[in-house]
Amino acid sequence: MNNKELIEKIRQCRLADLSDGMDALGLVNTGTMSSKMRPIRPGISMAGFAYTVKLIPAQKDVKVCKNFEEYSKELDEWCSDTYSFFGPISEGKHKDDDLVIVIDMGGYPGGIWGSEIGMNAMKNGVVGTVIDGGCRDLYECNLEGVKVWCTAKTFNHVYGRLVSGGVNIPVECAGVTVNPGDIVCGDDDGVLVIPRDRAEEVLEIALKVREGDQKTRAQHYKDLGLPFDETLGEAGKE
């Protein structure tokens, strides 16, 4: 199964199904991010391949700026380092790769992500962003359809606070080691990371878990006189 086929099938499953699939393989508690990792709004989901980013505390002083022009220049210099991970993405080099950007900030609550970079990422094929740290511009992000899971909501930037610590290296994100290319999935329940080399095994079981759950719930819907909805899949068409 190639990457495209795999990720499309994984997107048919809930995190609950995929987690049960991992449990069945003995991967209990593997890949489950902290419950602090939450979507910025309900009803969003994603699955893709990890593009990992590590940010570390800055070790230099912040300049006291005399005016906006001076601050703008200083900000550009900081951002050219802190956001260097985004260069290949904004150039369209990963547009068809179904990437999820996973950012390890060590839980620092500053806002590495916001509405402008979120839209830039969307138009260049990024399917979601997972941040052990902060996201800001939340109202705009939600209006724009930006998909973000984070451990903090904030209004602060990361200017003067964090700098680049590496790209596409193993990172620690909300209690989980994430390797480049791992499969990262998110929905209302949180974020789950599936090792790429076990993904097909997990998926095989997860699809069967989903099918059984949908059939059981469809019967409950009938018994309760509830209208079927999209969560029932094929069972809702019987």
Q: What is the pLDDT of residues 28-69, one digit of tens each?
A: 989 999 999 999 999 999 999 999 999 999 988 888 999 999
pLDDT of 192 > 80? The answer is yes
Question: Bridge-partner residues for 167, per DSSP?
Answer: 53
Share of the chain above pLDDT 90, in %: 93
Of 47-51, 57-61, 146-150, 175-179, the one with minimum mean pLDDT is: 57-61
E-only strand ranges, the chain? 38-39, 46-57, 99-104, 111-113, 128-135, 148-153, 162-167, 171-173, 176-178, 183-187, 190-194
**What pLDDT is recorded for position 47?**
98
CATH 3.50.30.40 fits 31-193, yes or no: yes
Mean pLDDT of the 100-110 span:
95
**What pLDDT is recorded for position 29?**
85
Mean pLDDT of the 230-235 span:
91
**What pLDDT is recorded for position 59?**
86
Range(s) of the chain covered by CATH 3.50.30.40: 31-193
Share of the chain above pLDDT 70, in %: 100
pLDDT of 179 > 80? The answer is yes
Q: Residues near 64 by Cβ (< 8 Å), separated by ≥ 6? A: none
**What pLDDT is recorded for position 237?**
81
Mean pLDDT, the chain, rounded, equals 95
* Position 127 confidence tier, pLDDT thresholds 50, 70, 90: very high
